[in-house]
Chain A
Amino acid sequence: MNLDQVKATLTQIIQHGDPNFAPAAQFCMQVVQAAESGQMNNDEIKETLLDVQRQINIINDMGGLQLKENLNLCINALITIAGFVL
């Protein structure tokens, strides 16, 4: 994947508008633009790119928790429903 393809993919993710992944893609695009314009040195570019991975890890951790919480709501609702009918 070349830089143009990277930018096109990031633009697609940004336009998709997912509340978690769109800001991460926007952040990644800012890193690319700052690197291209020479506003950051190599250490800074490397560290900010690591941040993209850290943000994705956080989204993954929190996504799993959201699913677990949704499941918890379903179970509580089912128990309540069962309480009414049993």
Chain B
Amino acid sequence: MKTIALALIVMLSGCTIADSYLLGKFDNNEYMLVTQIRTDSAKAIRSCDNAAASAANAEAIADKTQLLENYSEKLQHNDDVYNASKSLNEIAQGLVRQYQSGKPVSAMFCKLKFGSLQNSAITIQPIIGKRPR
């Protein structure tokens, strides 16, 4: 048994062990932000028939996705979450740009964009939540 355990550890190359140990730790703020983005997106979908409310919702959620991107950027060993948060922010900024363009924004576009934000936050949330404490 001792030999097997030793062999298993030796089999895992130094790089693999280092890479694994360099995994970012659970961060309360990061988890809270992605949970807020998920919750706010789900709520905002219900207001998509109201253009003024939706424009305000888009600005508010884009502020949160920008905050998540900026916050994730400087955390150690956090490249994967940072990259995901950048993509999440691009989704939100695309929504804001449509409202700022002055052209009419369809309710369907609003629903799909907030749905896209919700789906993506649902993908990110459990990964951040399972990180080692």
Contacts and interface: CB of A to CB of B under 8 A. Distances in A.
B106 interface: yes
Interface of chain B, main secondary structure: helix
A81 B127 contact: no
A55 to B, nearest CB: 6
Given A51-B94, A86-B5, A75 B17 contact: yes
B124 interface: yes
In the complex, which range does the number of interface residues on chain B fall in? Answer: 35 or more
A8 interface: no
Contact of A41 (B80, B106, B116, B132): B106
A78 B8 contact: yes
B5 A62 contact: no
B5 A24 contact: no
Contacts of A47: 94, 97-98, 109, 113
Interface string A48-62: 101100110111011
B32 to A, nearest CB: 18
B130 A69 contact: yes
Contact of B87 (A41, A61, A78): A61
Interface residues of A, number: 37
Interface in B99-133: 101, 103, 105-106, 108-109, 112-113, 115-116, 119-120, 122-124, 127, 130-132
B120 A54 contact: yes
Contacts of A71: 16, 20
Contacts of B23: 65, 68-69, 72
A69 B127 contact: yes
Nearest to B83: A61
Given A55-B119, A58-B84, A75-B17, A48 B131 contact: no
Contacts of B83: 57, 61
A54 B91 contact: yes
A79 B9 contact: yes
B102 to A, nearest CB: 12
